[in-house]
Amino acid sequence: MNRRKARSGPIYYVKVFLSGVAVVLFGGVTSVLFGWPMDRFIDTVRALAYLPFLLVILIFFYSRIGRVMNRGSEKQSEETEFLIKTSDAVRTTLEYDKDMFEKLRASEKFQTFYQDTYQVYQNGESDTLNFDILSKRFDENEFERDASLVVIESTKELIEEKKTQTEDNEQA
């Protein structure tokens, strides 16, 4: 279960409220255990009665603000995951070292290719942007060509995984 989803339902806020009530009652019982008169218990409970409500309100707004601030992180993490998986495929298949990756990173042509490949991964193939067009961007003698072919194959595998996950989620 998604942790964020588990912390956003009404049951979660009821648990938080009941925890606040328990803290207030604990404060009142503690005052009685210290030998203070029963009036002190009632005064303590009255003084802390706002605490459960305040606690729920603060947690509610904190989680809302967190969600608003993290809206872009899911897209960003998906892109990061794509980059990691495809670069691992290049590293293992072609046995590129750090220097070769630095050359790929410095190549504007390869970076544009990488961005376009991610767009195909996200949106699917189109007439203007597909794997055939992407595979023809580099000449036979360019060192980026081998890496681009591995990235394309890795992207195709990731698209298949994505389709499988989507189908599994729809069946569940």
Residues 83 and 43 in one domain: no
- In DSSP notation, 13-41 reads HHHHHHHHHHHHHHHHHHHHHTT--HHHH
Residues 76 and 140 in one domain: yes
Residues 22 and 90 in one domain: no
Residues 53 and 77 in one domain: no
Of 43, 69, 95, the residue at which a domain comes to its end is: 69
Of 50, 69, 88, the residue at which a domain comes to its end is: 69
Domain of 61?
3-69
Residues 141 and 126 in one domain: yes
Q: What is the pLDDT of residue 54?
A: 92
Residues 107 and 148 in one domain: yes
Q: What is the pLDDT of residue 151?
A: 92
Q: What is the pLDDT of residue 1?
A: 42
Q: What is the pLDDT of residue 40?
A: 74
CB 110 within 8 A of CB 148: yes
CB neighbour list of residue 55: distance below 8 Å, 6 or more residues apart: 16, 17, 19, 20
Profile the chain (172 residues) by mean pLDDT over runs of 10 residues.
Answer: 61 91 84 77 81 91 83 72 89 86 89 91 86 85 84 91 80 66
User: Count of CB atoms within 10 A of residue 82's CB?
Assistant: 19
Residues 76 and 62 in one domain: no
